[in-house]
Chains A and B, each alone.
Chain A
């Protein structure tokens, strides 16, 4: 595939400023995803402008920590954040719409991070 992709690791404290910079430079939010690794959870934020694809990754080692919601920057992000909350148990702070764990009606709670 002919796809330029950038992958960058950032700290949680830098998340809002980095995403905000990309929003102001005209990027669109493509997706937010989460991966369970042996030692932590990895959350990736994908942004795109003119088919140039950039991904920021943050590592979350403590599930009690709250991740700042980017839904104040990209309003539609609340869907991805509610999804990650319901499937992985990640807490997001200040989501634009918070379904309080009722976004997915799965029989097993936090099924992707038991």
Chain B
């Protein structure tokens, strides 16, 4: 035996910290990680293949079901790809509503992540308080779309549902109140010594590594790279003033801080959208079939998602390819694990906010 101290510790696919199956073979020396080898594909669903048997209009329903957290943005990105191929101009009101629902998705996803992370480092009370706040965001989503997981509000050519001016005003009032509650909770994440002890300096991803490995979303921005796909200006983001939120230390604490600051940014974006939204049509009539190809890119809570659609003029697409943010962040996860302690692995895996449901599309 060349190195008797080395042991392989299997992590997952079933693990208390993982709500979904991913497996890591952790090569350790004592308690220190030397290497991590990932395995995926335990529940691969082949949803991309289903596009060959589902009409391009109704596939929005399938796209939304790729993920239970960022469902709306999956549906939206699919719609953007088809709308671009078909040259459809979505009405401005629909674009603002798409922004509002996208940011509500980001709010509840980041609050979900904060709760899971608190649970991973053993701060149960913080987990419960965070998820209590998340429930309030889900309530707004339910009031405006009728769903808490699957919104069903985006369609090719626009949106299916409207939000009245009174409801928009009520949402802003509620978000102003929740912002204060979010601040109280997130101050604990930022200032509590036990939280800082578990996050600061743990799992450092350098700026160069983050870029070279193709990391996306908060995992990329926490390493100091200012890239946010919303700056492409899809939906109504071109009309919204915001800057990508970045941190520079690249550790778990930085990834946590980016998501916390994005909570307040999302509230601000919703407020801007409510101020700027004008009465108008919700959708345009879609006629014909798509022919061509396009890569639609949007910013999910976990980072950039890509929808590549290729159509040959029939009602069934030739190909739909979905590159999810978690898939793009796995090389970064593999790079940041070596050198960490075994006890930090659950927190480190969570800091890229893995969504295996998306990855096993």
Binding site for B on A (CB under 8 A): 1-3, 5, 7, 28-31, 33-37, 44, 46, 51, 53, 55, 74-76, 79, 86, 97, 99, 102-106, 111-112
Contacts and interface: CB of A to CB of B under 8 A. Distances in A.
Contacts of A46: 295, 306
B296 A28 contact: no
Interface size band for B: 35 or more
Nearest to A78: B331
Contacts of A35: 310, 318-319, 321
B40 interface: yes
A79 B331 contact: yes
B318 A103 contact: no
Given A46-B295, A53-B297, A106-B46, 14 more contacts: A2-B238, A3-B295, A30-B214, A30-B304, A31-B308, A36-B318, A51-B229, A51-B231, A51-B232, A53-B295, A76-B213, A76-B330, A79-B331, A102-B39
B331 A105 contact: no
Interface in B9-33: none
B147 interface: no
Contact of A30 (B44, B80, B238, B306): B306
A75 B296 CA distance: 24
A18 B238 CA distance: 32
A22 to B, nearest CB: 13
B41 interface: yes
Nearest to B210: A28
B119 interface: no
Interface of B: 37, 39-42, 44, 46, 48-49, 80, 84, 211-214, 227, 229, 231-234, 238, 293-297, 304, 306, 308, 310, 318-319, 321, 323, 327-328, 330-332
A106 B41 contact: yes
17 contacts: A1-B233, A1-B234, A3-B297, A28-B211, A28-B214, A30-B304, A31-B306, A31-B308, A31-B321, A35-B318, A53-B295, A75-B213, A76-B212, A76-B213, A79-B330, A103-B39, A103-B41
Contacts of A7: 293
A79 B296 CA distance: 21
A88 B213 CA distance: 24
A59 to B, nearest CB: 14
Contacts of A76: 212-214, 328, 330-332
Contacts of A5: 294-295
A102 B231 CA distance: 38
Nearest to B327: A79
Nearest to A3: B232
Given A3-B297, A36-B319, A104 B308 contact: no
B323 A74 contact: no
A75 B306 contact: no
B323 A33 contact: yes
The 9 closest A-B pairs by CB, nearest first: A76-B331, A104-B41, A31-B323, A35-B319, A33-B321, A2-B233, A105-B41, A76-B213, A104-B44
Contacts of B80: 1
Contacts of B310: 35
Nearest to B238: A2
Nearest to A99: B39
A59 B102 CA distance: 36
B235 to A, nearest CB: 9
A18 B80 CA distance: 29
Contacts of B229: 51
A105 B295 contact: no
Contact of B232 (A2, A33, A44): A2
Given A31-B328, A104-B41, A106-B41, A112 B297 contact: no
Contacts of A106: 41, 44, 46
Contacts of B295: 3, 5, 46, 53, 55
Nearest to A114: B49
Contacts of A112: 46, 48-49
B86 to A, nearest CB: 12
